[in-house]
Amino acid sequence: MRKRLIIVHTLWLFLLLSMTGYAQSVDQIIKKANHVAYYNGKDGRAKVQMLIKDSQGRSRKRSFTILRKNINTNADGEQKFYVYFNRPTDMQGTVFLVWKKMEGDDDRWMYFPALDLVKRIAGGDKRTSFVGSTFLYEDVSGRRLSADKHKLLKTTGDAYVVESVPVDKSGVKFSKYIAHVDKKSFIPLKIEYYNSKGKVYRIYENKKWEMVQGKPTVIISSMKDLDTGVETYNRYTDVEYDVNIDDSIFSERYLRKAPMELINY
Amino acid sequence: MQEKVIHFAINKPKAVVRLMILTAMIVLLGALLPSFFPNTFSAFHTIRVDTDPENMLPKDEPVRVFHDQMKELMNLHELIGVGIVNTTHEDGVYNVETLRKIYELAEFAKTLTWENEEGEQEGVIEVDIMAPSTTDNIEQESVGVVRFDWLMQTPPQNMEEVEALKKKVSRLTYIQGMMFSEDEKALAMTLPISSKDVSYHIYTKLREKIESLQGNGDAFHVAGLPVAEDVFGVEMFLQMAIAAPAAMLVIFLLMLAFFKRVVLVISPLIVALVSVIISMGLLVFTGNTIHIMSSMIPIFIMPIAVLDAVHILSDFFEVYQSKKDRREALVYVMNHLFTPMLYTSITTVIGFGALVLTPIPPVQVFGIFVAIGVAMAWLWTILFIPAYIMLLPGKTLENFGQKPASGDHRGWLDVFLSSVRKISFNHAKAVVASALVLIAISVWGIQQIVVNDNPTRWFEEDHPIRLADTEMNKHLAGTYDTYFALSPTNEQIDKDQVQQELIRSYPALDKSVFDVDPSLNGMDWLLNVESSLDDLLFESGDDVYDEALNTISDLKSDAAIFKNPEALKYLEQLQTQLSGLDVVGKTLSVMDLQKIVNREIYSGEDQHYVIPENKRVAGQHYVTFQGGHRPNDLWHFTTPTYDVANVWVLLNSGNNIDMEQVRSVTEQFMKDNPAPFGLEGKWYGLTYINLIWQDKMVFGMLNAFLSSFAIVLVIMFFLFRSFWWGLLSMLPLSLTIITIYGIIGIAGKEYDIPIAVLSSLSLGLAVDYAIHFLARSREIRKNQVSWEAASKIVFEEPAKAIVRNVFVVGFGFIPLLFSPLVPYQTVGFFIAAILISAGLVTILLLPALIKLLEKRLFKDVKN
């Protein structure tokens, strides 16, 4: 009798497991996608070439190194980011530091080398432009999963199509966004943001990705603002995971005294 | 030829009528069918309307080319201003209710976009709306903390929140005066629009919305040049539909009063209508647009068309009863009038035709098609009027016309004319002397003329557009935006030098990076090289590319003129100079943005509201500014390479003279203070374009007028085959023009387009009377012993025809005075003035001069 029960239970479990493997729940999809997009490894770094191209075809360029560390290595939670700018010349040495929180506002600092000033950026609105590009601060550090209600719209040949509707509509320009997540790697391939009129006004595209240290990693991505015609391209080189970046790097002290050995590698 | 034409009209009246109807129908169909059946008649032109004063200049005119280039470079659009003025609330516009309304209006404005047939987005450019709720704010929140936030993300709920907003506004200098008035009684949002021709639609929608927001003492206004211009276009068409027929009606009634027969007085109207149809039809058929100027063509053709017909009817009226046979009477009248009518028409055609000499396309089109209309009017007057009279049933004319004059039966016209004759004869010298005095006064008056135009003033003072203009410009900085662009005249990057330097510093560099289009300018060439290096770095990760990129980045930074404190200080000086002018409400440039960011980044204290100390700081401030919600706003003020500065100059008046003042002050400033970095300044913007075409128009018109005056003078010499008669015939015209413009100068009326075009109209109308009067006088004198004897006859037929003409045509245009559009009023008033003046000069001064010059003028006439 007990044996049979165990078998039945095992069968159930097996069935359950195989089903979830076959058809992921929407929460799992976005959790995995979020992990791939922001939490690969316990820490990581990359060099980024940013190209901002306006509707007239004029371009502006930024070049920076980004360091990231996950605080809680068991769960995708708090993180710290350190962004060091190499170019343009005027921005060289500018540092942007974020302590991403799960509750309350993130802590953000900016260091202006020409003024030798550290400024804390007041919390609240994270949907401002990241150094003049079409990426927002929120795109750089990630949006809390609980901020939106997610729904699996459909499954195509190689992607899950998930619709996310903001819980609190004030303060965001989009009424919803629809993400295409790669079925195998869970890397986001495309995200379309809809305005209040139900029209797409902003598109994220993962134009190229590779496995780096066994982790799906974006190599070229873009964000196009259809209202202004401005598009930003990010190209990532020298992506590394599990570098063992010391926690102390992500502090106000290192804003003025950048860890160049970690940045120029 | 004269005989043949007259006999054709009298003997084949039905053929004439058929011919006229056929011609009119063909032209009408040719013009209208393509509009109604665009697919069937796709090879032809549809009716195209163009109310854009910008088109007063050809598209390739340098100022327009530059305007379009800069608009594209700076991502600028024409602007509509929506304002709320509250003078009754104790807190002005800083109250919960008014702020909620401006929020609601801004939200509403965001919906005013649509896709056109080509799938392009039209209407309000949402991302560039400048309203409290769409404005970004950067502020020092507390020590060491900077906040980037919307100025008014949601409308304030209570007075505390209102006060907080007010405090923010007081620090955000670049919106002060523009969005919130300094007297706190007005606020405004600015809506950029995809093109000017959507303004009327947006204006209408906004006004509908505004209806639902009334109350609380809030007065709403919609202003801006695009609105004024587009609304004018729409109302202009209404006026065409009202004013022209109303003028027709009055002319009809006046003629009826003179000639008493409805059937008869209809004939000049038919001629006028046919002339208008043919000329407007041809205008549409030839693909010309109906413009502000061409919309006035009917109004100009009508009086001229009626003019000749009135001469015929008037003379026919005088002689019919004595001849009793219409054929005989018509032959008599037509033979007398044929030559004067031919010549008056030729002179009028020349007067308007000369407008092709102006450098303004719509004025050229206007001139050509009025000339065509006048020619048509002449043709159908000499053909159709006699034919029409011949076709009338016999009894219609039974009691028509003047009974042979008898001493005791004299109408008021006879009494009036006989006293005029007496004055001119008995006080000839006094008449001439008064004319000279009048000339002297007028010449002084002409010197007082102020050349100025302002599309907003095309509306009457109580028109909503005018009210909006007055109210918003009273409180806010200004609704007229012009721009002053400063850019370097010389190349900032020397391609060869840079290439050599890079090769020398980085021998390992792949030379293919220099495979760039050599025709590119230095900066674009450098940007291309940079992109190639970026690609190579991405692909290879080689450090040499990284280092070369740093060098290029340094070069770019060096070329970024408007990161230099020196360049920013120059802007500051220039803007201070401009802001000192009453007409300048506000100036805005990267200099202002730099100061705000500098203050908020440093301390939030006023001591840091200054231009940053060095280039690097300025460069960082630019990036900081872009860290808000609207990073692209920066590109309305400079370029991504920071070599151009676009200074916004808001004027509180659309007067061209005010723009001219701003322009000359700037020019003087730049002469006295040469700009650093070889910078050169150029104006653009609608207000500036208006100034340019006005300049061209004034001299173009003067040129056209002088040319046609000379041609007409030569024709007069030819017509009269006499120097003195020719000269005499130009007098009514000359005196009329001098007096009219003298009056304009003395009355302080400004010289604008309608006024300018009037000189041509005078040429058309005023010389007319002189020709009729002098030709007949000379002819009559041949059979009389003296001018005294001849003048008695002259003051019967020709003089009467002239006075009747003055009444019919002059007063016929009184309906135009009731138009809400000022140019129509101006034209109506001055047509009457021209006719009265020309008429008076003709019947008063000419006979007086003939008397004084009798021997010289009639030396070939045997007594």
Is residue A260 less than 8 Å (CB to CB) from chain B?
A: no
Quote the minimal CA–CA distance from B640 to chain A in Å: 7
Is residue A219 less than 8 Å (CB to CB) from chain B?
A: no
* CB pair distance less than 8 Å for B623 and A228: no
Residue A15's pLDDT is what? 52
* Residue type for position B519: S
In sequence order, the 6+-apart residues with CB closer than 8 A to the CB of B635 are: A54, B74, B75
Distance of CA B594 to the CA centre of its chain: 38
- For chain B, count helices (H), then strands (E): 31, 11
Residue B427's pLDDT is what? 93
What's the whole-number average pLDDT of chain B? 89
Is residue A229 less than 8 Å (CB to CB) from chain B?
A: no
Residue A19's pLDDT is what? 47
Is residue B557 less than 8 Å (CB to CB) from chain A?
A: yes
Report the distance separating Cα B184 and Cα B475, nearest Å.
Answer: 8
Location of structure tokens 């090769």: B503
* CB pair distance less than 8 Å for A128 and B563: no
> What is the 3-class SS of chain A, one letter each residue?
CHHHHHHHHHHHHHHHHHHHHHCCCHHHHHHHHHHHHHCCCCEEEEEEEEEEECCCCCEEEEEEEEEEEECCCCCCCCEEEEEEEEECHHHCCCEEEEEECCCCCCEEEEEECCCCEEEEECCCCCCCECCCCCCEHHHHHCCCHHHEEEEEEEECCCEEEEEEEECCCCCCCCCEEEEEEECCCCCEEEEEEECCCCCEEEEEEEEEEEEECCEEEEEEEEEEECCCCEEEEEEEEEEEECCCCCHHHCCCHHHHCCCHHHHCC
Residue ranges of A 88-107 with Cβ closer than 8 A to chain B: 88-91, 94
On chain B, the residues whose CB falls within 8 A of the CB of A119 are: 144-146, 601
Residue ranges of B 55-74 with Cβ closer than 8 A to chain A: 72-73
* A221-234: pLDDT as tens digits: 999 999 999 999 99
In sequence order, the 6+-apart residues with CB closer than 8 A to the CB of B689 are: B53, B54, B57, B63, B64, B67
On chain B, the residues whose CB falls within 8 A of the CB of A131 are: 623, 626-627
Q: A–B: how many Cβ contacts below 8 A? A: 127
Report the distance separating Cα B192 and Cα A6, nearest Å.
Answer: 72
Contact B226, B199 (CB under 8 A): yes
Contact B507, B687 (CB under 8 A): no
Neighbouring-strand partners of residue A60: A52
Is residue A131 less than 8 Å (CB to CB) from chain B?
A: yes
On chain B, the residues whose CB falls within 8 A of the CB of A51 are: 534
Confidence band (pLDDT; 50, 70, 90) for B863? low
Contact B700, B359 (CB under 8 A): yes
Token digits of residue B297: 């063509």
On chain B, the residues whose CB falls within 8 A of the CB of A112 are: 601, 617, 620, 624
Report the distance separating Cα A247 and Cα A80, nearest Å.
Answer: 9
On chain B, the residues whose CB falls within 8 A of the CB of A128 are: 148, 627-629
Q: Considering only A58-72, A80-94, B385-399, B518-532, which range has the smallest mean pLDDT?
A: B385-399
Report the share of chain B in percent with pLDDT over 90.
53
* B485-503: pLDDT as tens digits: 999 998 888 999 999 999 9
* CB pair distance less than 8 Å for B620 and A58: no
Environment class of B605 (CB within 10 Å of its CB; exposed 0-12, middle 13-18, buried 19+): exposed
* B656-715: pLDDT as tens digits: 999 999 999 999 999 999 999 999 999 999 999 989 988 888 788 888 888 889 988 998
Q: Phi and psi dihedrals of A151, rounded to 5?
A: -145, 135
Contact B636, B178 (CB under 8 A): no
Quote the minimal CA–CA distance from A36 to chain B in Å: 23
Quote the minimal CA–CA distance from A30 to chain B in Å: 27
Count the Cβ atoms, other than its own, within 10 Å of residue A35. 16
Is residue B119 less than 8 Å (CB to CB) from chain A?
A: no
* CB pair distance less than 8 Å for A132 and B145: no
Report the distance separating Cα B320 and Cα B267, nearest Å.
Answer: 17
Q: Is the pLDDT of residue B526 over 80?
A: yes
Is residue A248 less than 8 Å (CB to CB) from chain B?
A: no
* A17-54: pLDDT as tens digits: 444 444 578 999 999 999 999 999 999 999 999 999 99
Mutation target to probe the A interface, by most A beta carbons within 10 A, among B553, B593, B605, B633 is B553
Residue B35's pLDDT is what? 76
Taking alpha carbons only, the member of B805, B792, B639, B788 closest to residue B732 is B805
Mutation target to probe the A interface, by most A beta carbons within 10 A, among B147, B545, B620 is B620
**Structural domains in chain A plus CATH codes:** 2-263 (2.50.20.10)
Please report which helix (H) or strand (E) contains residue B530, including its range.
helix B522-540
Strands across the sheet with B219-223, in order? B186-193, B78-85, B219-223
* CB pair distance less than 8 Å for B534 and A51: yes
Q: Is the pLDDT of residue B338 over 50?
A: yes
Contact B430, B636 (CB under 8 A): no
Residue ranges of B 611-640 with Cβ closer than 8 A to chain A: 614-620, 622-624, 626-629, 631-632, 634-635, 639-640
Q: Are strands A188-194 and A176-182 parallel, antiparallel or unpaired?
A: antiparallel
Helix, strand, or coil (residue B145): strand
* CB pair distance less than 8 Å for B629 and A125: yes
Rg (CA), chain A: 20
* CB pair distance less than 8 Å for A90 and B620: yes
* CB pair distance less than 8 Å for A118 and B148: no
Cis peptide bond N-terminal to B155, omega within 30: no
Residue ranges of B 492-531 with Cβ closer than 8 A to chain A: 527, 530-531
What burial letters (b/e) apply to B199-234, b meaning 16+ CB within 10 Å?
bbbbbebbeebbeebeeebbbbbbbbbbbbbbbbbb
What burial letters (b/e) apply to B826-860, b meaning 16+ CB within 10 Å?
bbbbbbbbbbebbbbbbbbbbbbbbbebbeebbee
* Residue type for position B741: Y
- Sign, CA torsion A180/A182/A187/A189: negative
User: What is the interface pTM, i.e. ipTM, of the complex?
Assistant: 0.90
